[in-house]
Amino acid sequence: MKDRIVLAYSGGLDTSVAIGWIADATGAEVVAVAVDVGQGGENMETVRQRALGCGAVEAYVADARDEFADEYCMPTLKANGLYQGHYPLVSAISRPVIVKHLVKAAREFGATTVAHGCTGKGNDQVRFEVGIQTLGPDLKCIAPVRDLALTRDKAIAYAEEKHLPIVTTKKNPYSIDQNVWGRAVETGYLEDIWNAPTKDIYDYTATPEFPPAPDEVTITFVQGVPTALDGVAMSPLQIIQDLNRRAGAQGVGRIDVVEDRLVGIKSREIYEAPGAMALITAHKHLEDITIEREHARFKAGVDRRWSELVYDGQWFSPLKRALDVFIDDSQKYVSGDIRMVLHGGTAVVNGRRSDTSLYDFNLATYDTGDTFDQSNAKGFIDIWGMSSKVASTRDQRVAGE
């Protein structure tokens, strides 16, 4: 029996050509695995049939939309996951769930190797291969574009020569990756970081310059997870999808950033994440009223480190698992409602309520009913500033000698 290789299959030119390319280069049979993480576009059965038409001996499609939303998007939300304060980890969090299904398929179909379509200069090669090594340490990894010199020109020529059932184009200026959490666009015209993005690169968001009427939405959270919009109970997937539509219509969630890739280069990226950015904004505001000050300060550092680990392909690492425990514990009281207005590219919170809030009106008010004992303030200030006062006294004495 021939060796089998499981290929992470997107249905596009490169991975379609990779099926035959891998078979020719290795003599192995190729099993194509497509994972639906809410990327939209083509029907997944069409994608499966294309894989078979391109020479795959088996083609497997996994509907991972709810799994992705529940087990990957929600932990990201609880961690306020933003790499370098900007990027909501759109691609980074989809790779672990894809890896999980690749390894599962390798076991099911008797494959010894897993292949992916990444280049040698991106982050995704690390995310795929570190994940595969962790979940399937006995499995080997190959990357046709990186390891077998599969360039785009070669891919187009191969597809035409073999009459593969896929449309080939000589020029596609952008590299695009998308799922329900957001959309990532890079390369082409965008590689000159002085160039402004053109309107044609956007799909999830409408232009914010000419928005429709403001859209006010109330998001209900239970222990850090959204459970309803405007009082209507929904699953995490449904909430993300609905906010993608509503926030996207207002141009919310457009991000233009130069970020530090894991491989050591800086890369200009354009992201669209209307639902994700609206949810992260709402979640942060709810944390502001339900998490104690020192706890919140420490969590901000944990959130940052969590985001770095996930960006760097360490979803399955021991440290990331340990941080998950802290973050989950921090969400015990993060329940309540956030009201926000979506309009003209912004998501602005204008109302908060929670049965577990730490906000005390009677302590905060300056009007009648104030219960704050202001006589305590002077002694607090004296003690709080004591160490600085002592140090300053020493500095002045030494300077005068």
- With CA atoms as reference, report the closest residue to 261 among 311, 309, 189: 311
Question: Is 175 one of the catalytic residues?
Answer: yes
Residue 142 pairs in a beta bridge with 115
Q: Considering 14, 36, 303, 312, which one is annotated as catalytic?
A: 14
Cα separation of 330 and 325, whole Å? 9
Per the annotation, where are the binding residues for L-aspartate?
Answer: 119, 123-124
Q: Considering 4, 36, 65, 124, which one is annotated as catalytic?
A: 124
Q: Pairing mode, if any, of strands 4-8 and 29-36? A: parallel
Q: Is residue 302 within 8 Å of residue 323, measured between CB atoms?
A: yes
Per the annotation, where are the binding residues for ATP?
Answer: 8-16, 117
Place of tokens 């993060």: 334
Per the annotation, where are the binding residues for L-citrulline?
Answer: 87, 123, 127, 175, 259, 271
Question: Is 124 one of the catalytic residues?
Answer: yes
Q: Considering 146, 175, 261, 337, which one is annotated as catalytic?
A: 175
Q: Considering 48, 50, 65, 95, which one is annotated as catalytic?
A: 95
In what side-by-side order are the strands of the sheet with 266-272?
Answer: 175-179, 182-186, 266-272, 254-260
Per the annotation, where are the binding residues?
Answer: 8-16, 87, 117, 119, 123-124, 127, 175, 259, 271
Which residues form the catalytic set? Answer: 14, 95, 124, 175
